[in-house]
Structure 1
């Protein structure tokens, strides 16, 4: 997933990003069990990045979440603001995974 996150970050660096790419990136993140271990973790992400809050029943199914978020992305007008927040979230995840890799490599050196 680390390589995909780097690709997503590079796409989000572009000045103009089409909505279909934004939808694809968000969908891939939401469906990833490596990024969000539990469905309830998605709730914090949606609130942080998009300012979206859904009813509790929606968080039981990732596909329902993806469908609702896709609908909201299509309707939204503040593309640049959400793109920047998503970029920061992805950068934070890249840093976390990078730190885990460094820690793991250091432990392997001792063995």
Structure 2
């Protein structure tokens, strides 16, 4: 993985994370093709972490998705932002625990990206 997700984890561990940091980390994650090879995977991520769902025409463009998520995060109350921070921290922890060899094997099989769909469905069932 080319980004330092450990930095994201350390930022998200703090109790009072600034809103702009959550928006920035979210943007980095959504736009990273190494994490989500398909936009359908982004939709699952949005539903499980943020509780958001968008129409198909928005999901076709990741930049449109980022702008909508940023808008929602900027208008969210403190409790909602704290819930998002906790779920995002869980996601980043799982991302860091993924073995690099497994990622490269899946990347070859799936023609790019990591399939986090099963993991996301598991998280939503536990919430």
Superposition TM-score tier, normalisation by shorter sequence: 0.7 to 0.9
- What's the TM-score, normalizing by structure 1? 0.85
- What's the TM-score, normalizing by structure 2? 0.74
Map of 1:30-109 to 2, 5 A cutoff? 30-77=30-77, 78-98=80-100, 100=102
The 3 A distance-change label for structure 1 pair 3 and 56 is closer
Q: 2 CA distance for matches of 1:22 and 1:65?
A: 15
TM superposition outliers: structure 1 runs of 4+ over 6 Å: none
| Higher helix proportion | 1
How large is the RMSD of aligned CA atoms in angstroms? 1.7
Number of matched residues? Answer: 102
Q: Corresponding residue for 2:121?
A: none
Q: Corresponding residue for 1:10?
A: 10
Largest Rg, 1 or 2:
1
Q: 2 CA distance for matches of 1:48 and 1:96?
A: 19
Structure 2 alignment gaps of length 5 or more: 106-127
TM-aligned CA deviation for residue 98 of structure 1: 4.9
